[in-house]
Structure formats: structure tokens, C-alpha cells
Structure 1
Amino acid sequence: MQKFEVDDDLAALVERLAKPRPFENLSFNAALRRVLQGQELSAARATEPDEIDRLLGEANAVSAREPKKAPSPSAAEWAASVPELKDRRGMTTWKAICDLLKIDTAGDSARRKLKNWVKLHRSKWPAVPDID
């Protein structure tokens, strides 16, 4: 096997880059191997983010095309179909309708609360629409 002369400053640099643990005695070969393997891993990691960024970009593009939740049916259209509510102003949201009828939503969906309330108290009214 061929032998190489290594300057002291280069040997010290390799030893420092190898980052030996306290009280660990590394030969020059072991230290150089550790440094070079670290460089291989760094090079591999440098290519991985490109792949990860590409995959994340594809996932974000798919999710950007699809809405996160289904759109709610129009509260104004439903209120216009109810004789007692059609002449009232401001009936544009499900929460506004619940507030007028004094239905406590307690942080739940106003449309769902109204739907259950209509079933129990105003069965003659048109049914509150479901989300498609």
C-alpha cells in the first residue's frame, strides 16, 4: 500500500474536523475516515432537501386546489324561504338567524343547532339544508 506524508497542520485539521469525543484516541486513518464519511452524509443531505421540497410542493399544490372544508349552504336563501324570517334584515348568516331565534350555539355550528331546533320547534318550516 502506498504511504503518504501528511503535514502536521493538515493532521491537526483532520483531527479537529473528526470531533473526537473526550478521551477518545483516533488514529489519523480513523479521523480521516470519519471526516470523509461526514462529507458523504452532508452531500447526501444536500440532495435530500431538493427531493423533499419537490414532494412538499406537490402536496401543497394538491391541497391548494381542494377546499379544506365544504362550503356552507346559503343562510340568506333559506331565511328567504321561511315566511317568519323573509322580511327580517340581516339574516345572512346562520349565527344571525340563531341569535334572532335566541338559540344558544355554545360554540357549535350554528347551522347544525338551527337544524335541530327547526326539527323540534318549527316542523312546518323548510328543513335547514345539509352540507353537500
Structure 2
Amino acid sequence: MPQFTVDEDLAALVEKLAKPKPFENLSFNAALRRVLQAQIQPNKVDSELEQLLAESMALKKGTKKAASPSPQQWAASVSELKTKKGLGTWQAICDVLKIETAGDSARRKLRNWVKTNRPSWPPVPELSGD
């Protein structure tokens, strides 16, 4: 096995970078191995993180939110709302009918309100999972 001469200042630098624990006696080889492995390990961790990120992004692309039914079409089917302007969102319809949504889905709040207060109106469209 070949032998290498190492200057004292280089040996001291390797020992310092190895960060020995108190009272730990490291050989030069062990200290150099620790320093080099510390440089290699982050790259391995980085590549594993990159792979996990790529997998999670691929999963996210596959899950799309279902499109909300058209509030304009539903409002046009209700005689009391047909003539009202600006009913382009479920929230706008709730505002006209003075339905408090309190941060919940305006479409779901409207659906429950219609069932209770206006059963003769056409039902508000539902989504799977409602």
C-alpha cells in the first residue's frame, strides 16, 4: 500500500474539519474519512429529497379539483333570479339572497338554504364528495 507524506498544517486542518468529540482520539485516516463522507452524504440526501419532491409533484399533477357547476346556468333556471345581473359566482347568488357563508363553500350553503327555504326551486348542483 502506498504511503503519503502529509504536512502538519494539512493534518491539523483535517483533524479540525473532522470535529472530533471531546477525548475522541482519531487517526489521520479516520479523520480524513469522516471529512470526506461529510462531503458526500449531503449530495446523497439532496438526491433523495429531489426524488421525493419529483414523486410528490407527479402525484399532485394527477389530482385535479373537480370543476364547480355553472352558477349562471343554475341562476337562469330560477325565475326569481333570472332578471338579476352579476350572478356569475355562487357567492354573488348568496349575497343577493342574503345567505351568510361564513367562509364555507357558497354553493353548499346555497344548496342547504334552497332545500330548507325554497324547495320548489331546482336543486343546486352537487359535486362528488359534498
Q: How does the TM-score come out when normalised to structure 2?
A: 0.80
Over 3 Å off, 4+ runs: 1-7
The CA RMSD measured in Å over matched residues stands at 2.5
Residues in 2 aligned to 1:113 and 1:11: alpha-carbon distance in whole angstroms: 72
Figure out how many residues of one structure are paired with residues of the other and give that number: 128
**Alignment of 1:35 onto 2:44:** no
Residues in 2 aligned to 1:5 and 1:105: alpha-carbon distance in whole angstroms: 78
List gaps (5 residues or longer) in structure 2.
Answer: none
**Alignment of 1:122 onto 2:118:** yes
Q: Which structure 2 residues correspond to residues 1-80 of structure 1 after superposition, within 5 A?
A: 6-22=6-22, 24=23, 26-27=25-26, 29=27, 31-67=28-64, 69-80=65-76
CA contact (8 A) 2:71 2:90 kept: yes
Over the matched positions of the two proteins, sequence identity in percent amounts to 49
Residues in 1 aligned to 2:126 and 2:86: alpha-carbon distance in whole angstroms: 21
- Tell me which residue corresponds to 2:77: 81
Residues in 2 aligned to 1:118 and 1:124: alpha-carbon distance in whole angstroms: 8
SS in 2 for 1:61: helix
Residues in 2 aligned to 1:124 and 1:77: alpha-carbon distance in whole angstroms: 17
